[in-house]
């Protein structure tokens, strides 16, 4: 279980990115964090594994307080939190296999990692993960030879190679086309279910959030303004989070979409996007 | 206004011309074309059998350039990491020191380094290697630290998020991103150093410059022309090699 207590972050420029966030994520829950750009979503998940240092408040992973760990203990704690990035953040010039194995860096010593002498069990696990996401034929390709969706799947494998109990996912679909976005979201959620991981997924696509998350938290200007189930996202709530806009089309489309989803995959995808564009043009 | 400007420039030009003309012995200048033709005549044909005495110095020259470059790279890598804003361990102390090393090494010509080192170490190849090495640190470190500052920080962040240690972050997150730049810089500097090491002998720091100097003082112009041809051939060869290598990596 992840628990944030009065988490605050003020940047050196004086911007208050998080204004005391309290949040609990139980084990195995997939939570989507939505909100407009600049609401503090990225800052929030980076404060959890301290890629960004919080300026106030506490973070607990199970009973371990992350916010006051020393460098070594923090590295050990980071192993338990896999992170997936918007632009994949693969090391472009390394092979797919090396990228996945880099998820094990926290577990192996410097020379073993430098000489690429990972334990056989790590290598086996990496092959299994790549097989699971359908990339086992690409292990020796260089990361920059892959397409966006393939790269993100490698990114997922890297995060899972850490053997985490929590996934921090930062805009996983922002650089992907609509169809690939759904496949990636589905994959992340399936893998979380399989491994009983909890996940915090930053996402600005409300429809995708509603489709895949069990719980939605809306962040606005560093404060939580909504915390509830996906179907509780009414027009008023979205207005509260994002500001005044005609939300009816967005909400209605989701319902239709979920029905379409169970029948077949490829067809229903473009329709809501087109609708949304049309809506944006009309308002 | 513009005319005043032209006038000033014109006056400065006349003044400088005057200054140059006073310190020039015009008799020599009027004679220059004859001298050049004369020198040219005395340089041909190159004394081909002198070649047997040039193999060893040219080998020395290549060694000075290559070992000097290797030495420079070994020293430049840490300097570059200290100088790059995103990898330096301390912005207040180490970074300024690293930047100073870079500036100092770049502002002193290798010939001057060689002059000083010949006084310290005595004449010979060793002084040449050190001179080339010291001269090249700045160049290599500067280009390398610029490459380090331009890396994609997201890749580094991702490696950090896995719980990797500092050295592991360096090896996995930073090094793969700067490797092509590093290879390019090395070959480029090696190519420059071949050219620089051909003249080091003029001050006694070994290599083919030594022969060149001796031949000029002996007025053995047919030897001089052969040495110049050898130098040109070496430089052309090194440029060809460096172009090939750079194509292969990038």
For residue B238, give how far its alpha carbon lies from the nearest alpha carbon of chain A (Å).
28
Q: What ipTM was estimated for this complex?
A: 0.82
Q: Which residues of B180-206 are buried (b: 16+ CB within 10 A; e: fewer)?
A: ebbebbbbbbbbbbbebbbbbbbbbbb
Instruction: Give the residue among A101, A5, A44 at the shortest CA–CA distance from A220.
Output: A44
Lowest mean pLDDT among A16-20, A139-143, B50-54, B163-167: B50-54
* Domains of chain B, each with CATH number or no CATH: 59-249 (1.10.3720.10)
Query: What is the per-residue pLDDT for A251?
Result: 67
Q: Which residues of B touch A156 (CB under 8 A)?
A: none
B155 touches chain A (CB under 8 A): yes
Contact A275, A267 (CB under 8 A): no
Q: Give A61's contacts in chain B (Cβ within 8 Å).
A: none
pLDDT digits (tens, 9 = 90+) for B181-227: 998 899 989 989 988 888 888 888 878 888 888 888 888 888 888 88
Distances (CA, A) of A169 to A80, A184, B119, B142: 14, 11, 63, 37
Is B154 in the A-facing interface, judged by CB distances under 8 Å?
A: yes
CB contact under 8 A, A106 and B158: no
DSSP B44: P
8 Å CB contact of A79 and B168: no
Q: Which segments of chain B have a pLDDT < 50?
A: none
- Whether B161 and chain A come into contact, CB under 8 Å, resolves to yes
Q: Write the CA distances from B202 to B72, B197, B213, integer angstroms.
A: 22, 10, 6
A75–B165: do the CB atoms touch at under 8 Å?
yes
- Distance, in Å, from the CA atom of B61 to the CA atom of B188, rounded to the nearest integer, reads 17
Residue among A102, A159, A169, A172 with most chain B CBs within 10 A, to mutate = A102
Judge contact between A22 and A4, C-beta under 8 A.
yes
B214 shares contact with chain A (CB less than 8 Å): no
Model confidence, pTM: 0.78
Asked whether residue A259 carries a pLDDT value surpassing 80, the answer given is no
Work out the average pLDDT over A167-184: 89
The string of pLDDT tens digits covering residues A79-129 is 999 999 988 899 988 999 999 999 999 999 899 988 889 999 999 999 999
pLDDT value of position B250: 65
């Amino acid at each position: 279980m992840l628990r944030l207590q009065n988490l605050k972050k003020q940047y050196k420029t004086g911007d208050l990115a998080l204004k005391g966030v309290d949040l609990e994520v139980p084990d195995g829950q997939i939570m989507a964090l939505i909100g407009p750009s600049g609401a503090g979503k990225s800052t929030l998940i980076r404060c959890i594994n301290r890629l960004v240092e919080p300026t106030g408040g506490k973070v607990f992973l199970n009973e371990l307080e992350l916010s006051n760990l020393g460098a070594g203990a923090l590295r050990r704690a980071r192993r338990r939190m896999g992170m997936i990035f918007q632009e994949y953040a693969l090391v472009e010039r390394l092979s797919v296999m090396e990228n996945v194995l880099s998820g094990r860096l926290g577990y192996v010593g410097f020379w073993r990692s430098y000489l690429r002498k990972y334990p056989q069990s790590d290598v086996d696990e990496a092959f299994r993960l790549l097989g699971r996401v359908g990339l086992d034929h690409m292990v020796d390709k260089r990361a920059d030879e892959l397409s966006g969706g393939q790269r993100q799947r490698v990114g997922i494998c890297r995060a899972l190679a850490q053997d985490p109990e929590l996934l921090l996912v930062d805009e996983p679909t922002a650089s992907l086309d609509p169809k690939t976005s759904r496949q990636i979201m589905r994959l992340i959620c399936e893998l979380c279910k399989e491994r009983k991981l909890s996940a915090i997924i930053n996402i600005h696509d409300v429809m995708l959030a509603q489709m895949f998350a069990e719980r939605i938290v809306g962040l606005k200007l560093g404060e939580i303004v909504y915390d509830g189930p996906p179907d509780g996202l009414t027009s008023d709530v979205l207005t509260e989070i994002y500001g005044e806009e005609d939300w009816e089309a967005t909400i209605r489309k989701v319902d239709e979409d979920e029905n379409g989803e169970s029948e077949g995959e490829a067809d229903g995808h473009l329709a809501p996007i087109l609708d949304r564009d049309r809506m944006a043009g009309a308002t | 206004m513009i005319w005043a400007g032209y006038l000033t420039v014109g006056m400065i030009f006349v003044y400088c011309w005057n200054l140059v003309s006073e310190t020039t012995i015009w008799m020599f200048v009027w004679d220059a074309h004859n001298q050049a033709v004369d020198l040219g005549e005395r340089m041909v044909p190159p004394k081909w059998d002198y070649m047997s005495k040039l193999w060893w110095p040219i080998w020395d020259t290549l060694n000075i350039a290559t070992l000097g470059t290797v030495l420079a790279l070994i020293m430049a890598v840490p300097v570059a990491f200290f100088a790059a804003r995103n990898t330096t361990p301390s912005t207040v102390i180490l970074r300024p020191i690293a930047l100073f090393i870079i500036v100092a090494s770049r502002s002193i010509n290798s010939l001057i380094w060689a002059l000083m080192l010949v006084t310290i170490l005595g004449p010979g190849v060793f002084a040449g290697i050190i001179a080339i090495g010291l001269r090249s640190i700045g160049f290599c470190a500067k280009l390398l630290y610029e490459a380090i500052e331009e890396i994609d920080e997201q890749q580094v962040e991702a490696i950090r998020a896995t719980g990797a240690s500092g050295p592991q972050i360096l090896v996995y997150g930073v090094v793969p991103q700067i490797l092509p730049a590093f290879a390019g810089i090395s070959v480029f500097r090696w190519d420059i150093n071949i050219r620089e090491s051909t003249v080091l002998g003029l001050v006694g720091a070994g290599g083919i410059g030594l022969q060149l100097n001796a031949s000029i003082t002996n007025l053995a112009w047919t030897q001089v022309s052969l040495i110049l041809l050898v130098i040109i051939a070496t430089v052309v060869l090194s440029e060809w090699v460096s172009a090939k290598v750079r194509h292969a990596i990038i």
